Amino acid sequence: MPDFRFDPISARWVAIASNRLARPMEFVPLKETLSSDIVCPFCKGRESETPTQLEVWDHQGQRVEAAGSDIDWSTRVVPNKFPSFPSDAPMDPFDTKVLSDFIQDFGPYDQSRRPGVQELIIPTPRHVSSFGDLEKSEAMISWAAIQTRFSVMKEKNGIEHAMLFMNCRSAAGASLSHAHLQLIGSPVLSQLMKDRLCRNQRYVEEHGKTLMQSVLEWEQQQRTRIVTETEDFCVVCPFASRVAYQMWVIPKHSFHDFASIDREMRDALALLTRKLLRRLDRSLDRPAYNLMLQAAPFGATDNDHWYVEIMPRLTLPAGLEWGTDIWINPVSPEDAAKRLRR
Ligand SMILES: [Zn+2]
């Protein structure tokens, strides 16, 4: 029997409906199609195809200054050639006095041309698609680059929040198959983020700990939705998983501010995300997925508990999800965790 579950972290209702797996299906689920006439701009030797790099890391995990195709690089960070946020401000976009000039009223609407920042982190010169395909050293060096760029973004005037994500394969929104992560610095805060801030603040005031700490304690008692656990992290399929095989990588300590975690913890996170995505690729025949670093807006980390979210894209949101934001998940998180533990 389906049941309704409430996720306190996102404040969303989800219908867990395992019975839907028995439905007759006429359509083939999300199929990957690759165009063969695209030359990959992220592969070694094609460095000139991207905008000038912001940072380059070598195989020893050192940042190198000069860079071009002659450098034997492991991770490159470049500006997004096709940004989704405004970035063409005619004046210095990070001057606070100028920022206010970009906010305009337009009838009943608010409009803003505040610039954002959009960077791509290319974690390997090799043409592989999944984070799980990376070498261990590549995974660790790319997370070092992520933390560095995240910290740089934190210092930028006018950037409220950073979202690090990876779209792997076309059904997850990727336009190129070469593995790449995106870091977006947003000049506006979404309502989702504002609501989450309020919920977290209220919870800490009432309980003296973060909401995620309570979730973590409960999951550690129940042990039915835990995929794996290490000294630093606990991986769970959340109680109200919105999609099948959704996973949260929850830090057990140093959870207020991702930017300030130490190297040991960051390396552990890199190896764990790689391991989980290898396992996902193997268990579910290399599905499309999104990976996201869920962290509080800058300057509001005191009540927050950052975590990494992995969302496999095995089904499409349809009318109910778009219309009500109530999601239907055909695989219970208990079954998903059991399969991912194997
Ligand atoms: Zn490539």
For residue 40, report the distance from its CA to the centre of ligand 1, in Å. 5
Flag the least confident range among 81-85, 205-209, 259-263.
Answer: 81-85
At which residue do the structure tokens 């803003």 appear? 112
The per-residue pLDDT for range 140-167, each reduced to its tens digit, is: 999 999 999 999 999 988 899 999 999 9
For residue 125, report the distance from its CA to the centre of ligand 1, in Å. 7
**Domain annotation covers residue 30:** no
**Domain annotation covers residue 14:** yes
**Domain annotation covers residue 34:** no
Compare 257 and 302 and report the one with higher pLDDT. Answer: 257
For residue 43, report the distance from its CA to the centre of ligand 1, in Å. 4
For residue 233, report the distance from its CA to the centre of ligand 1, in Å. 31
**Domain annotation covers residue 109:** yes
At which residue do the structure tokens 């606070």 appear? 96
**Domain annotation covers residue 139:** yes
Mean pLDDT of all residues belonging to the chain: 89
For residue 177, report the distance from its CA to the centre of ligand 1, in Å. 7
CA dist 187 and 228 (Å) reads 36
For residue 169, report the distance from its CA to the centre of ligand 1, in Å. 13
**Domain annotation covers residue 240:** yes
- Indicate which CATH number applies to the domain containing 304: 3.30.428.10
Would you say 7 and 242 are in contact if contact means Cβ atoms under 8 Å apart? Answer: yes
- pLDDT for 71 beyond 90: no
* Long-range interactions of 25-34: CB distance < 8 A, separation 24+: 29/314, 29/315, 30/171, 30/288, 30/313, 30/314, 30/316, 32/169, 32/170, 32/171, 32/288, 33/170, 34/170, 34/177
For residue 249, report the distance from its CA to the centre of ligand 1, in Å. 28
Print the domain residue range for 142: 3-21+41-85+105-341
In the chain, the number of structural domains is 1
Residue 197's pLDDT is 92
For residue 126, report the distance from its CA to the centre of ligand 1, in Å. 6
CA dist 263 and 288 (Å) reads 29
For residue 122, report the distance from its CA to the centre of ligand 1, in Å. 10
For residue 263, report the distance from its CA to the centre of ligand 1, in Å. 28
Backbone torsions φ then ψ of 94, nearest 5 degrees:
-105, 15
Compare 114 and 204 and report the one with higher pLDDT. Answer: 204
| Average of per-residue pLDDT across 38-52 | 91
Degrees, nearest 5: CA angle 103-107-112 = 20
DSSP string, 221-247: HH-SSEEEE-SSEEEE--TT-SSTT-E
For residue 42, report the distance from its CA to the centre of ligand 1, in Å. 5
Give me the percent of the chain exceeding a pLDDT of 90: 67
**Domain annotation covers residue 202:** yes
Residue 40's pLDDT is 93
Confidence of residue 302 (pLDDT cuts 50, 70, 90): confident
The per-residue pLDDT for range 327-339, each reduced to its tens digit, is: 999 999 999 999 9
Would you say 136 and 268 are in contact if contact means Cβ atoms under 8 Å apart? Answer: no
Beta strands in 24-160 (DSSP E): 55-58, 63-64, 73-79, 103-106, 109-112, 117-122
The per-residue pLDDT for range 170-185, each reduced to its tens digit, is: 999 998 999 999 999 9
Q: How far is CA 25 from CA 1, 160, 278, 330, in A?
A: 20, 44, 28, 14
For residue 73, report the distance from its CA to the centre of ligand 1, in Å. 14
Residue 65's pLDDT is 81
The per-residue pLDDT for range 89-125, each reduced to its tens digit, is: 544 545 554 455 455 567 777 777 778 899 999 999 9
For residue 214, report the distance from its CA to the centre of ligand 1, in Å. 42
Confidence of residue 77 (pLDDT cuts 50, 70, 90): very high
CA dist 148 and 266 (Å) reads 11
Degrees, nearest 5: CA angle 89-147-40 = 70
**Whole-model pTM?**
0.92
For residue 128, report the distance from its CA to the centre of ligand 1, in Å. 7
For residue 176, report the distance from its CA to the centre of ligand 1, in Å. 8
- pLDDT for 84 beyond 90: no
For residue 131, report the distance from its CA to the centre of ligand 1, in Å. 13
Partner residues linked to 226 by β-bridges? 236
- pLDDT for 129 beyond 80: yes
Residue 91's pLDDT is 46
Degrees, nearest 5: CA angle 304-231-253 = 20
**Domain annotation covers residue 100:** no
At which residue do the structure tokens 């999951």 appear? 219
For residue 66, report the distance from its CA to the centre of ligand 1, in Å. 22
Burial 253-288 (b: 16+ CB within 10 A, else e): eebbbbbebeeebbbbbbebbbbbbebbbeebebbb
For residue 124, report the distance from its CA to the centre of ligand 1, in Å. 9
For residue 166, report the distance from its CA to the centre of ligand 1, in Å. 15
Q: Tell which residue, 191, 189, 187, has the closest CA to residue 87.
A: 187
